[in-house]
Amino acid sequence: MEKQSFISLLSSNPYPGRGIVLGTSPDGLKSVAAYFIMGRSENSRNRVFVPTPDGIRTQAHDPNKMTNPELIIYHPVREIENYLIVTNGDQTDTIRDAIKNLDLKKQDQDQNQVKIAFQSALDTRTFEPDAPNYTPRISGLLFPDGGFSLSILKSYDGMPGEGRFLHTYQKDGNPLPSFEGEPVRVSLDAPNAEILANTIWDVMDEGNKISLYVRYTDIQSGSYQTVLLNKLSSGFRGRQIY
């Protein structure tokens, strides 16, 4: 599969919807996770990312403007047992609960069990009930060793400086055309989370972008840096690094 520039793909598409990138930093020492949301309606655009003890959740910037929380208020990122779950909906909790029920003892066996749990959890879900778009549910699972799985339930080895890009819509439209094909092989050239976050944020369509999450995790030590960017702020700074 030909590797493409993630930044070029993103900058040339004004509305890919929600997107997940999982991969590995150029030096091969850090796993990479990025998740963004975009929106066209006032209800969708009235959101920010806020940190939680195990990841992030979406929140209404102005609660008085929130008309329907279904499908837009959820936990996009949750961590359990050093596995990072990234999705575009409440299937994050479905996957987390499946992993939580495992009896994990040995590392090599753990990862196989977790992969099966990831697939089994997603087998219970379908596309979003938002006719006529029928938005796909995209999901990713980042392993402690830098490997990862995406919602097509295909596993990937983390290769230095590259990742896979998955998003909900091919482009803007009415109705919105769903993403087709396999996750796109993309280059990840940024050496740290802050640089990647700034680069992604700068090329996302100004009118449609809402929030961005980027995390770089050291594969050996497990330490990580996270960057949150919000177009709006609601008691939280527009930029957070932790």
State pLDDT tens for residues 30-74.
Answer: 999 999 999 999 999 999 999 999 999 999 999 999 999 999 999
Contact call for residues 168 and 18 (beta carbons, < 8 A): yes
From CA 85, how far away is CA 95, in angstroms rounded?
Answer: 8
Confidence at residue 200, expressed as pLDDT on a 0 to 100 scale:
97
Q: Which residues, 6 or more positions from 153, have their beta carbon under 8 angstroms from its beta carbon?
A: 118, 119, 122
For residues 21 and 188, what is the distance between their CA atoms, to the nearest angstrom? 9
> What is the pTM (predicted TM-score) of this model?
0.83
3-state secondary structure of 122: helix
99 burial (CB, 10 Å; 0-12 / 13-18 / 19+) is buried
- The average pLDDT across 198-202 equals 96
Contact between 117 and 104 under an 8 Å Cβ cutoff? The reply is no
Residues 98, 121 contacting (CB under 8 angstroms): yes
Per-residue pLDDT reduced to its tens digit, 205-216: 999 999 999 999
CB 92 within 8 A of CB 80: no
pLDDT tens per residue, range 90-140: 999 999 999 999 987 655 568 889 999 999 999 999 888 888 988 888 999
